[in-house]
Structure 1
Amino acid sequence: MQQLCLAWISALFAIAPLLLSGCAGSPAVDPEVPSPSSPVVSPPTPSVSASPLEAETSPATLSEAELSEAEIWSQLRQGRGYVILFRHALAPGTGDPSNFRLEDCSTQRNLSAEGRQQAMRLGEMLRQRNIPVSRVLSSQWCRCLETARLMNLGAVEPFPVLNSFFQDRSIERSQTEQLRQFILSNRDTVGVTIMVTHQVNITAISNIIPQSGAAVVMRASAPDQIDLVGQLASR
């Protein structure tokens, strides 16, 4: 028996180095430390800068603190640099006929009898509230020119910047930027500038979709800041 025990002990001493070397060949892995073959990739930093054109035409240049109609009328009577963008009065339909020609009203969508009455009410609305009007500008479309003339607030000036781009959206951004620059240049003008235009033009600069005869009131409060003052409901 003693000889058998000695044999077992000798065998254990013989294989011990092999066991130790096997353990040394399998190092422990820390789960918090990435493997060299799996590099750490930082998430991309989101970009917050816009291209110059995007920055110029974005509605983010607007300060949207809309007032009630009573507050709007009060400001219009005493302020500077205010612009009222009217959508033309009621003209049934959408867009214009396929044979549209700017110089021929018979090829365009025009005011209805109700639309003509509405246009006159819009002018009376401003006169009753003693709103000082400095200029009246209009799209060259016949329904806009007729709306502006029936409002009877002063001589009407055709203003191509207000022309519709409903049929040609490729000019939307450049034309909206021209309108924006005009409003900014109007900052120190005494009295209100009336503009009669189209839904697409008003929506492009204000993000508001007005009804026929409704209006959006805007004002340049700083060299590169346009305030969205509020809205005037159609009459």
Structure 2
Amino acid sequence: MPSSQLPDPLIARRAVLGAGLALASLRSWAAQDTDAEALLRKGGVVAAFRHSLAPGTFDPPGFRLGDCSTQRNLSEEGRTQARSIGVWFQQRQLQPGKILSSPWCRCVDSATLAFGAPQVWAALGSPRGSPETTSAGHLRELRAALVGASAQTGRFEVWFTHMFVLADLANTNTSSGEALILRADRGGKAEVLARLSVAA
């Protein structure tokens, strides 16, 4: 039955339910941001971002590192999203101790628009070929760096990388421009403490 034909009490109930879900969603995002902010302020964590929005999947034929014209790049929406990330940190006076990025242009651009020029690190690079999995050597580097960052109270790092890298490192999915707040557990594996998704 279309909404227009529903009895008045059902329409009202649906409206209340919709408003309740929207409010719950807003509270969830607010709590998420608050948790992330508190963790970053305390330090000993890494905010590991998936690069901002770059429409499409994979890189085009003829891809070359160091040549952005051969790569999948940020859209204008993605560039706005990256700037919004920087604004979120600036408004809270949160300054990363280190900013690291995959060599891919969409990651370097995300980092630069948010924070300024990053230090490029090959271990954060996108897996190439098939299957799309991060190499064991790169995973060892990432975990070792996370252990080091986790030991530094009052200081946090920001990394910009790719969906596949974050999935291999933290065993979870991420959206474009979303960060996982990571810390190394006692075994040296990545533990997801919170998520941060900054609206553009």
TM range (shorter): 0.7 to 0.9
Instruction: Please say if residues 85 and 195 of structure 1, whose CA atoms lie closer than 8 Å, have aligned partners that are also in contact.
Output: yes
Alignment coverage as a number of residue pairs = 167
Counterpart check, 1:162 vs 2:127 = no
TM normalised by structure 1 equals 0.66
Counterpart check, 1:217 vs 2:181 = yes
User: Partner of 1:215: helix, strand, or coil?
Assistant: strand
User: Partner of 2:63: helix, strand, or coil?
Assistant: coil
Counterpart check, 1:194 vs 2:158 = yes
Tell me the residue number matched to 1:128: 91
Give matches, 1:1-235, under 5 Å. 68-79=32-43, 81-152=44-115, 154-168=116-130, 169=132, 171-189=134-152, 190-220=154-184, 222=186, 224=188, 226-235=190-199
1:233 counterpart letter in structure 2: S
Please list every run of 5 or more consecutive structure 2 residues that lacks an aligned counterpart in the other structure: 1-30
TM normalised by structure 2 equals 0.76
Q: Distance in 2 between matches of 1:188 and 1:166?
A: 31
CA deviations 1:46-99 (Å, max 9, x no partner) are xxxxxxxxxxxxxxxxxxxxx8431221121123x2101101111110000110
Cα distance 1:157–1:107, how it changes in 2: closer, same or farther (>3 A)?
same
How much does 1:192 deviate?
Answer: 1.3
CA deviations 1:12-71 (Å, max 9, x no partner) are xxxxxxxxxxxxxxxxxxxxxxxxxxxxxxxxxxxxxxxxxxxxxxxxxxxxxxx84312
Instruction: Please say if residues 135 and 155 of structure 1, whose CA atoms lie closer than 8 Å, have aligned partners that are also in contact.
Output: no
Instruction: Write out the 4+ residue segments of structure 1 that deviate beyond 4 Å after TM superposition.
Output: none
User: Partner of 2:195: helix, strand, or coil?
Assistant: strand
Instruction: Please say if residues 95 and 167 of structure 1, whose CA atoms lie closer than 8 Å, have aligned partners that are also in contact.
Output: no
Cα distance 1:196–1:171, how it changes in 2: closer, same or farther (>3 A)?
closer
Q: Distance in 1 between matches of 2:68 and 2:160?
A: 17
| Structure whose CA Rg is larger | 1
Please list every run of 5 or more consecutive structure 1 residues that lacks an aligned counterpart in the other structure: 1-66
More helix by share: 2
Q: Distance in 2 between matches of 1:132 and 1:146?
A: 18
